[in-house]
Amino acid sequence: MNNVVLNNGVEMPILGFGVFQIEDLAECERSVRDAIDVGYRLLDTAASYGNEESVGNAIKASGVARNELFVTTKLWIADTGYDQTKAAFDRSMKRLQLDYLDLYLIHQPYGDVYGSWRAMEQLYREGRIRAIGVSNFHPDRVMDFILQQEVLPAVNQIETHPFHQQVETQKFLRENNIQIESWGPFAEGKNNIFHNQVLSRVAAKFGKSVAQVILRWLTLRDIIVIPKSVNKERMAENFDIFRFDLDLRIWKPSQHSRRVRVSSSITAIRQW
C-alpha cells in the first residue's frame, strides 16, 4: 500500500475504506471486516454516520494489529466547543473501542471550531490522537484557521472527483503543507459517472473499470481516497489500482462548461 506523509511525519495510507451512508449496522460491520480482509488499512467513519460502534466491532474481530490500521473519525457540528469536543471524542473512542485515534477531523466549518481545535490540540499533545485536521473547509476558512491556531491541520477532507477536481484548492493546500483527502471520489454515482463515455474509453483502453480509473487518477495526484462499497468483489477491485499508470495532464477549467473529458488516446483528464 502506498502511503503519504502528513505534515507531522505520520504516514497515512493513500487508499482507504469509507462507511458513509452504510446505515445497516450489521452490514457496516460485515463490510469493514471484508475491507480489512481485502487489505484496506485506512478506515474512515464519523460520529454523525451512526456506525462507529460497527467499525469498532469489525476492527476488534479482524485480528489485525492495531498499529497496522489507520482509523479516522470526525467531530459533528452539535459537539463543537472545548468541553463538548473532549466529551464527544471520549464517546467516539468508546464506540470504536480504541485507546488512541489516528486522525480526528472537524466535520464541518460551523460552530465553535476554535474551541474544538484547542481541545483537539491538547488530545494530540497527550498522544490520544496521532494527527488532527478538518473536513469541508474552503480555502478561505483554512487560511483563517491557520492564522488562528498553533497546530497546523494535517488533512482537509473535501469533495473531490472528476466533476469537481479541486485543482486550485489542492494547489493551495499543498502550498500550506496540508494533505488533501477526497470524499465522494465517485461523485456519489451522480451524472451517470460509471457510464461516462470518456471515462469508459479510458477504462477499456487499460482493461480496467471506470472506478479503478478514477481512483488511480486521484491517487496519482497524491490525493487520499476512501471509496465505499458493501460488495467484497467491488472492494477488491477498488483496491487493485496500483498496477497500472495514467499519463495525467490536468488543465485549468474553462468557464464555459463543467463537462469532464478524458482523452481516448492518452489518459489525460481535462476539465472543459
Q: How far apart are CA 110 and CA 236, in angstroms?
A: 36
pLDDT in tens, 145-170: 999 999 999 999 999 999 999 999 99
Q: Among residues 49, 82, 100, 124, which one is catalytic?
A: 49
Residue 21 DSSP code: T
For 69-100, give one letter per residue: b (16+ CB within 10 A) or e: bbbbbbbbeebbbbebbbebbeebbebbebee
pLDDT at 269: 39
Mean pLDDT taken over the chain: 91
What is the secondary structure of 184-215 as a DSSP string? -TTGGGGGGGGG-HHHHHHHHHHT--HHHHHH
Residue 195: other Cβ atoms inside 10 A: 9
> What is the separation of C-alpha 2 from the centre of its chain, rounded to a whole number of angstroms?
14
pLDDT at 206: 92
At 272, the pLDDT band (50, 70, 90 cuts) reads very low
Query: What are the φ/ψ torsions at residue 78 (nearest 5 degrees)?
Result: -65, -15
The full length of the chain comes to 272
Decide: 198 and 260 in contact? Cβ < 8 Å.
Answer: yes
49 classed as catalytic: yes
Decide: 194 and 214 in contact? Cβ < 8 Å.
Answer: no
pTM: 0.91
pLDDT at 247: 78
For 245-266, give one letter per residue: b (16+ CB within 10 A) or e: ebeeeeeeeeeeeeebbbeeee
pLDDT in tens, 79-114: 999 999 999 999 999 999 999 999 999 999 999 999
pLDDT at 211: 97
Q: What is the mean pLDDT of residues 241-249?
A: 84
At 249, the pLDDT band (50, 70, 90 cuts) reads low
